[in-house]
Structure 1
Amino acid sequence: MHKTNTVVARLPETMRSGTIAGAILMLAVMVSVFWSQSVAARGLPDFTELVEENSSAVVNISTTSEPVNRRSGLHGLPFDERQLEQLPPFLQEFFSGPNSPFGGGPGAQQPTRSMGSGFIVSKDGYVLTNNHVVEGADEVVVRLNDRREFSATIVGTDPRSDMAVLKIENADDLPVVRVGSSKELKVGEWVFAIGSPFGFDYTVTAGIVSALGRSLPSENYVPFIQTDVAINPGNSGGPLFNMDGEVVGINSQIYTRSGGFMGVSFAIPIDDAMSVFRQLRDKGTVARGWLGVLIQEVNRDLAETFGLKRPRGALIAEVMPGSPALAGGLQAGDIVLEYNGEEVELSSDLPPKVGRTLAGESARLTVLREGKEIELDVEIGELPEDGQISQSPANNSRGSSASKALGLTVEPLTPEGARSAGVESGVLVTNVERGPAFEAGVRSRDIITEINRQRVGSLKEFRQVVKNLPEGRAVSVRVVRQGRAIYLVMRP
Structure 2
Amino acid sequence: MARLRTAIIFLLQSATVGLAAAFVVVYLFPGLVQSGRNPAGAGPSSYSDAVSVAAPAVVNLVSTVRSGGGRDGGISAVESLGSGVIMDDEGYVITNDHVIDGVASIQVFLTDGRASSAAVVGTDPDTDLALLKIDLDDLPKIPLGRSDTLRVGDVVLAIGNPFSIGQTVTQGIVSGTRRGQLGLSPFENFIQTDAAINLGNSGGALVNASGQLVGINTAFFSRRLDSEGIGFAIPVNLVRGVMEDLISHGRVVRGWLGVATETLTPDQAEALGLDEGFGIILTRVQSGSPADRAGLRPTDVITYIDETPVVVWQDALRLIARMEPGTRVVLTGKRLGQEFTVEAEVAERPSPGGG
TM-score (norm 2): 0.78
In structure 1, distance between residues paired with 2:219 and 2:333: 33
In structure 1, distance between residues paired with 2:188 and 2:339: 28
Residue 184, structure 1, aligned to residue 122, structure 2: no
In structure 1, distance between residues paired with 2:343 and 2:36: 59
Match of 1:201 among 166, 189, 202: 166
Query: Alpha-carbon deviation of 1:222?
Result: 3.5
Residue matched to 1:211: 177
In structure 2, distance between residues paired with 1:132 and 1:209: 24
**After the TM superposition, which of the residue ranges 372-381 and 135-144 deviates more from structure 2?**
372-381
Shift in CA distance, 229/370, structure 1 to aligned 2, threshold 3 Å = farther
**After the TM superposition, which of the residue ranges 145-154 and 125-134 deviates more from structure 2?**
145-154
User: RMSD of the TM alignment (CA)?
Assistant: 3.2
Residue matched to 1:173: 138
Query: Alpha-carbon deviation of 1:248?
Result: 2.2
Residue 231, structure 1, aligned to residue 197, structure 2: yes
In structure 1, distance between residues paired with 2:275 and 2:219: 36
- Amino acid in structure 2 at the alignment position of 1:180: G
Shift in CA distance, 343/157, structure 1 to aligned 2, threshold 3 Å = same
Q: Secondary structure at the match of 2:200?
A: coil
In structure 2, distance between residues paired with 1:165 and 1:292: 27
- Amino acid in structure 2 at the alignment position of 1:324: P
Match of 1:242 among 208, 212, 225: 208
Match of 1:359 among 316, 319, 325: 325
Residue 65, structure 1, aligned to residue 65, structure 2: yes
Residue 286, structure 1, aligned to residue 268, structure 2: no
Contact 2:178-2:189 at 8 Å conserved across structures = yes
- Amino acid in structure 2 at the alignment position of 1:58: V
**After the TM superposition, which of the residue ranges 157-166 and 183-192 deviates more from structure 2?**
183-192
Shift in CA distance, 68/179, structure 1 to aligned 2, threshold 3 Å = same
Residue 273, structure 1, aligned to residue 239, structure 2: yes
In structure 1, distance between residues paired with 2:323 and 2:184: 20
Residue 298, structure 1, aligned to residue 251, structure 2: no
Deviations 1:412-450 (A, max 9, x none): xxxxxxxxxxxxxxxxxxxxxxxxxxxxxxxxxxxxxxx
Query: Alpha-carbon deviation of 1:115?
Result: 0.9
Q: Secondary structure at the match of 1:348?
A: helix
Shift in CA distance, 298/44, structure 1 to aligned 2, threshold 3 Å = farther
Unaligned runs of 5+ in 2: 1-31
* Alignment of structure 1 residues 374-393 onto 2, 5 Å: 375-385=341-351
Residue matched to 1:160: 126
Residue matched to 1:407: none
Deviations 1:117-156 (A, max 9, x none): 1111121111000111111112211111212111112222
Query: Alpha-carbon deviation of 1:233?
Result: 0.7
TM-score (norm 1): 0.58
Contact 1:335-1:368 at 8 Å conserved across structures = yes
Contact 1:215-1:224 at 8 Å conserved across structures = no
Query: Alpha-carbon deviation of 1:47?
Result: 2.5
Unaligned runs of 5+ in 1: 1-31, 72-79, 81-103, 390-492
In structure 1, distance between residues paired with 2:219 and 2:278: 27
Query: Alpha-carbon deviation of 1:54?
Result: 1.2
Residue matched to 2:313: 347
Residue 330, structure 1, aligned to residue 296, structure 2: yes
Deviations 1:201-244 (A, max 9, x none): 33222221413152332411342223333211111011222344
Shift in CA distance, 201/345, structure 1 to aligned 2, threshold 3 Å = farther
In structure 1, distance between residues paired with 2:173 and 2:332: 38
In structure 2, distance between residues paired with 1:301 and 1:184: 33
Q: Secondary structure at the match of 2:243?
A: helix
Shift in CA distance, 344/227, structure 1 to aligned 2, threshold 3 Å = farther
Residue matched to 1:53: 53
Residue 117, structure 1, aligned to residue 83, structure 2: yes
Q: Secondary structure at the match of 1:274?
A: helix
Q: Secondary structure at the match of 2:187?
A: strand
In structure 1, distance between residues paired with 2:274 and 2:64: 54
Number of residue pairs matched? 323
In structure 2, distance between residues paired with 1:262 and 1:174: 35
Query: Alpha-carbon deviation of 1:175?
Result: 0.9
Query: Alpha-carbon deviation of 1:183?
Result: 3.0
In structure 1, distance between residues paired with 2:137 and 2:119: 17
In structure 2, distance between residues paired with 1:254 and 1:312: 32
Query: Alpha-carbon deviation of 1:199?
Result: 2.3
Deviations 1:309-334 (A, max 9, x none): 79743211122222112233433223
Larger radius of gyration: 1
Query: Alpha-carbon deviation of 1:344?
Result: 3.1
In structure 1, distance between residues paired with 2:100 and 2:241: 20
Shift in CA distance, 269/143, structure 1 to aligned 2, threshold 3 Å = same
